Amino acid sequence: MSVFPRSLGCVSEDRVYGGRAVADRRRDRRERFLAAAVELFGTQGYAGTSVPQVCRAAGLSTRQFYQEFSDREHLLRTLYDRLQDRSMAQVSERVLERIAAGDGIDAVLDAGVRAFLAVYDDPLPARVNFIEVVGVSPAFEEHRHANRARWGELLQTAAQAGAARGLPLTSATPLQWAAYIGAVNAVIVERTLDPSITEDALLHAMRTLLRPGILG
């Protein structure tokens, strides 16, 4: 008979150690790795950052790292997905909220753009999300392409919701949305390179691309 309990290889996340549940410890550990990744990828770059450096910045071991992520690219993708999901949720919530409130087209578009910009107000996550993720691997590029398609669907749904409420909006094609998303990425990158660019300048550029741009 083994001296190790059969359950050792599959510890329940409901178990408590040192007064904290295993699930809480794992969440805390994951957050520390992600915070370290934002700092390092956002300053010295993804290519210039190693797994041991991330671990040192997080104050954790490489063994713990590989319990959470398969490799460095998995860490970057997790961070990218979190930022993307957060910005999509913020934009969708604000736009639909303003449409439901009966706001005019300018107020609706401004609310959506400002909600997006608020997620990337910090230059570090902005650099990670719009610069460091480019060209990482063919698989990552495919993932980014799929994510741009998600953005196109979200924006088209919002435009259709606005048109149904009587807002003067024309329909845009997936290719037009892809062009808009690429342009938005470009202006965010410009701001990471030139901190003197103001939020109002970004808002004006992004709003002009929407209207009288692809939305008429």
Instruction: Determine the Cα–Cα distance for residues 20 and 10; give it in Å rounded to an integer.
Output: 18
The closest alpha carbon to 46, from 166, 133, 110, belongs to 133
Q: Where are the domains of the chain?
A: 16-68, 72-214
pLDDT at 4: 32
More confident residue, 5 or 138: 138
Omega cis (within 30) before 212: yes
In this prediction, residue 115 carries a pLDDT of 96
Between these two residues, 9 and 55, which has the higher pLDDT value?
55
Checking if the pLDDT of 32 tops 70, the result is: yes
> Would you state the structure tokens that stand for residue 163, as one six-digit string?
């048109």
The pLDDT assigned to 45 comes to 97
CA distances (Å), origin 134, targets 47, 59, 97, 127, 145: 11, 28, 33, 10, 11
**Would you state the pLDDT for residue 21?**
72
Q: What is the pLDDT of residue 24?
A: 83
Q: What is the pTM of this model?
A: 0.85
Mean pLDDT of the 41-68 span = 97
pLDDT tens-digit series, residues 177-213: 999 999 999 999 999 999 899 999 999 999 999 988 8
Residue 149: helix, strand or coil by DSSP? Answer: helix
pLDDT band for position 11 (50/70/90)?
very low
At residue 198, φ and ψ (nearest 5 deg) are: -85, 165
pLDDT of residue 5: 34
**Arithmetic mean of pLDDT, 14-34:** 77
- Grade residue 2 by pLDDT with cuts at 50, 70 and 90: very low
Nearest to 157 by CA among 140, 141, 172, 175: 172
Share of the chain above pLDDT 70, in %: 91
CATH T-level fold of 16-68: Arc Repressor Mutant, subunit A (1.10.10)
Query: Span 8-20, mean pLDDT?
Result: 47
The 10s digit of each residue's pLDDT in 61-80 is 999 999 999 999 999 999 99
Hey, what are 120's tokens? 């990337």
pLDDT at position 26 is: 87
- Residue range 91-129, pLDDT digits in tens: 999 999 999 999 999 999 999 999 999 999 899 999 999
